[in-house]
Amino acid sequence: MGTVDLDPKVPPGPLAEKWDHHRFSVKLVNPANRRRFTVIVVGSGLAGASAAATLGELGYRVELVTFHDSPRRAHSIAAQGGINAAKNYRNDGDSIQRLFYDTIKGGDYRSREANVYRLAQVSVEIIDQCVAQGVPFAREYGGLLDNRSFGGAQVSRTFYARGQTGQQLLLGAYQALARQITAGTVRLWNRTEMLDLVVHDGRAVGIIARDLVTGELRRFSGHAVVLATGGYGNVFFLSTNAKASNATAVWRAHRRGALFANPCFTQIHPTCIPASDEFQSKLTLMSESLRNDGRIWVPARIGDDRPPHEIPDDERDYFLERRYPAFGNLVPRDVASRAAKREVDAGRGVGPLRNGVYLDFSEAIARLGRSVIEERYGNLFQMYERITGEDPYTVPMRIYPAVHYTMGGLWVDYNLMSTVPGLYVLGEANFSDHGANRLGASALMQGLADGYFVLPATISDWLAPLLGEPTVPIDDPVFTATETAVSERIHRLLSVQGRRSVDHFHRELGRVLWDNCGMERSAESLDKALGEIPALREEFWADVRVLGGEEHFNQSLEKAGRVADFLEFAELLVRDARHREESCGGHFRVEYQTPDGEALRNDAEFAYVAAWEWAGEGAEPVLHREPLVFEAVQPTQRSYK
């Protein structure tokens, strides 16, 4: 077993007072001195943009690096449903304590209590902040904010802007960032991709990035480096992530010493449009909010080929309502996904490939009228119609689970600092708040909590003692050596000159992972994947074909580097899944389930964060453990019945 040596630096005191105490105890940098510190922020999604903007407002000098052409393109923009906050505007019994409890329980007791409590506390301020920036949240006729309910909760605490909440929140953060760019506190480096972390005397001191237009390698030096580079869902090739989302920044940081925590905690979202063919390039999410008004069902009889409207109600199986009467269609994502898989595996799937279940709005349309449904979900219905050619107002949607979010990420302490001093990790890129399963509408909350409120309050503790210390000069040998490594790797990719495209390997890797380490995992399937992945990686380096050169805009080269990293990272993901001999949240090991097929945790042996240390090429990673101590909530078998 690994060692227990990770200190999460959780402040002392009662849970509800930790964050307050901590903010009082951290060292501060006085306003006039802040401009003497340079912070490199990588990534411009909710976490990165909000962090860069806020650090800029505080007076730090920020270098913001993003591979996108504009910060506004980051994949946070595609989040549809909403953002949670414990405002209790509906007077339905919500509170900070309840949001905290729902998140811990939803995460199947695999997250750190203190972080989650802080998240719930800060959630309230996020909504205030976003409204002040002009985020056009949905309103009631009286002018107050509207809310809706979401999976895993029995209260309505989700704020939303039609089906484009992520877009509006990101634009809010992007605009705050734009203001700082004009003010001169933030410098924007767009179409610039981080390819390595520079570590000097055990501290993160900079990054090496590639200008994607000219191919030039750039050196950035700073007093701290902040990674807000998103999740690794694209390791499965088919996911709801944007095509360019990747794990290169976190993986390169991992190889430079940052521990990677719980990589096997991946979320399969229940409501995505089923894959239709082998040329499919990505999967599209249909917001979980649809489960508020849509009812999920399959034909009760195997092989019932009648069109949905011809199947009478008593010959349908509303399997979520039947199995989970208390939460019904609003059970958490992992539960809903597995239930759908069970129906499809049993042969009750619908659609031409029998790979979906119905999400039916006919009852809601009859009850509320088409116009209400159109107002709530119009853009989602339109998106569905574009992709499938079917009209969801008259024909039930077909949905099936798909890889959507990754709870695992680089290990961080309470301050969001990784195990490399000076390296912070925010948003989906870190592991901290969602345990083994994230609740709907909580990703946006966490990204903004980290960026607007947590990092700006904790980073001064690291920076203050560095006052007067210059950044490491970019001609220092450590920068030269790191840049040389990056450059050699690029040459290596270009020089293979094999026969197969990068996408070929990426698809193949995705297939191995989905088949063996997807919604269900077993020791056998994981061992199989552990055999196949290194072989595929070897084949990649022997047979990949990357055309073009390095000194110009070259998308194949960008993709090749990312897929090469996925091929290394996938092995760690599978290894983590293999070692965790229990089922929890999104990690479902078939060997460990209750008699009625629910996830069976093993708290005695696995109530810890598994944080893996890179031990070099070809060497087995070293496991470190952070025990999870529950003081406020007693772990129980999750029940949504």
Partner 1 sequence: MDLTLRVWRQAGPEVPGHFETHEMRDVSPDMSFLELFDTLNERLIAEGREPVAFDHDCREGICGSCSMMINGRPHGPERGTATCQLHLRKLPDGATITVEPWRAAGFPIIRDLVVDRSAFDRIIEAGGYITAPTGSAPDANEILIPKEVADAAMDAAACIGCGACVAACPNGAAQLFTAAKYAHLSLLPQGQPERWTRVVRMVREMERWFGSCTNHGECEAACPKEISIDFIALLNRDYVKAQLRNRALAGQRG
Site for partner 1 in 123-152 (CB under 8 A): 125, 127-134, 136-145
Please report whether residue 391 would count as binding partner 1 according to CB under 8 A.
Answer: no
Residue from 21, 302, 553, 629 that binds partner 1 (CB under 8 A)? Answer: 553
Please report whether residue 630 would count as binding partner 1 according to CB under 8 A.
Answer: no
Part in contact with partner 1 (CB under 8 A); list of ranges 120-128, 218-226, 228-236, 391-399: 120-128
What one-letter code names the amino acid at 22? H
Please report whether residue 171 would count as binding partner 1 according to CB under 8 A.
Answer: yes
Q: Whole-angstrom Cα distance, residue 529 to residue 519? A: 14
Q: Are 65 and 40 in contact (CB under 8 A)?
A: yes
Binding footprint of partner 1, residue count (CB under 8 A)? 80
Residue from 182, 303, 310, 468 that binds partner 1 (CB under 8 A)? Answer: 182
Part in contact with partner 1 (CB under 8 A); list of ranges 48-56, 203-211, 288-296, 412-420: 48-56
Tell me, letter by letter, the H, E, C secondary structure of 429-474. Answer: HECCCCCCCCCCCCHHHHHHHHHHHHHHHHHHHHHHHHCCCCCCCC
Site for partner 1 in 533-552 (CB under 8 A): 545, 547-548, 552
Of 173 and 607, nearer to partner 1 (C-beta) is: 173
Of 141 and 468, nearer to partner 1 (C-beta) is: 141
- CB burial of residue 235 (10 Å; 0-12, 13-18, 19+): buried
CA distances from 543 to 22, 248, 505, 566 (A): 53, 21, 10, 16
Site for partner 1 in 296-335 (CB under 8 A): none
Please report whether residue 162 would count as binding partner 1 according to CB under 8 A.
Answer: yes
Site for partner 1 in 227-246 (CB under 8 A): 242-244
Of 60 and 319, nearer to partner 1 (C-beta) is: 60
Strands 83-84 and 423-425, by their bridges, are: unpaired
Please report whether residue 187 would count as binding partner 1 according to CB under 8 A.
Answer: no
Minimum Å gap between C-beta 41 and partner 1 is: 15
Cα 12 to its chain centre, rounded Å, is: 29
Nearest to 148 by CA among 296, 293, 309, 14: 293
Q: What is the dihedral of CA 600, 606, 612, 615, to 10 degrees?
A: -110
DSSP 484-504: HHHHHHHHHHHH---SB-HHH
Q: Which residues pair with 400 in a beta bridge?
A: 272
Site for partner 1 in 364-383 (CB under 8 A): 382-383
Q: Are 106 and 440 in contact (CB under 8 A)?
A: no
Please report whether residue 355 would count as binding partner 1 according to CB under 8 A.
Answer: no
Q: SS3 for 254?
A: helix
Of 38 and 245, nearer to partner 1 (C-beta) is: 245
CA angle 100, 106, 110 (to 5 degrees): 85
Q: Whole-angstrom Cα distance, residue 127 to residue 42? A: 24
Please report whether residue 26 would count as binding partner 1 according to CB under 8 A.
Answer: no
Minimum Å gap between C-beta 221 and partner 1 is: 24
DSSP 568-589: HHHHHHHHHHHH--S-BTTB-B
Alpha helices by DSSP H, 184-283? 248-255
Of 174 and 569, nearer to partner 1 (C-beta) is: 174
Cα 293 to its chain centre, rounded Å, is: 26
Site for partner 1 in 484-513 (CB under 8 A): 501, 503-504
Of 134 and 202, nearer to partner 1 (C-beta) is: 134
CA distances from 519 to 236, 310, 514 (A): 12, 31, 8
Residue from 37, 174, 566, 640 that binds partner 1 (CB under 8 A)? Answer: 174
Helix axes 502-517, 523-543, angle to 10 degrees: 170
DSSP 163-185: T-HHHHHHHHHHHHHHHHHHHTS
Q: Residue 592 corresponds to which tokens in the numbers above? A: 């460990």
Of 480 and 497, nearer to partner 1 (C-beta) is: 497
Site for partner 1 in 251-290 (CB under 8 A): 276-277, 279-282, 284-285
Please report whether residue 89 would count as binding partner 1 according to CB under 8 A.
Answer: yes
Q: Whole-angstrom Cα distance, residue 641 to residue 328? A: 8
Please report whether residue 70 would count as binding partner 1 according to CB under 8 A.
Answer: yes
Part in contact with partner 1 (CB under 8 A); list of ranges 62-70, 358-366, 475-483, 583-591: 62-70
Of 74 and 577, nearer to partner 1 (C-beta) is: 74
Residue from 46, 48, 52, 54 that binds partner 1 (CB under 8 A)? Answer: 54
Part in contact with partner 1 (CB under 8 A); list of ranges 173-181, 319-327, 478-486, 627-635: 173-181
Please report whether residue 338 would count as binding partner 1 according to CB under 8 A.
Answer: no
Please report whether residue 633 would count as binding partner 1 according to CB under 8 A.
Answer: no
Please report whether residue 386 would count as binding partner 1 according to CB under 8 A.
Answer: yes
Minimum Å gap between C-beta 362 and partner 1 is: 25
Minimum Å gap between C-beta 346 and partner 1 is: 27
Strands of the 260-261 sheet, one edge to the other: 409-410, 260-261, 608-613, 622-627
CA angle 334, 335, 340 (to 5 degrees): 100
Please report whether residue 175 would count as binding partner 1 according to CB under 8 A.
Answer: yes
Q: Which residues pair with 613 in a beta bridge?
A: 622
Please report whether residue 400 would count as binding partner 1 according to CB under 8 A.
Answer: no
Of 175 and 362, nearer to partner 1 (C-beta) is: 175
Q: Whole-angstrom Cα distance, residue 427 to residue 444? A: 8
Q: Are 481 and 199 in contact (CB under 8 A)?
A: no
Residue from 2, 16, 35, 57 that binds partner 1 (CB under 8 A)? Answer: 57
Part in contact with partner 1 (CB under 8 A); list of ranges 110-118, 165-173, 289-297, 616-624: 165-173
Q: Residue 165 corresponds to which tokens in the numbers above? A: 């909440």
Site for partner 1 in 428-457 (CB under 8 A): 452-453, 456
Of 147 and 525, nearer to partner 1 (C-beta) is: 147
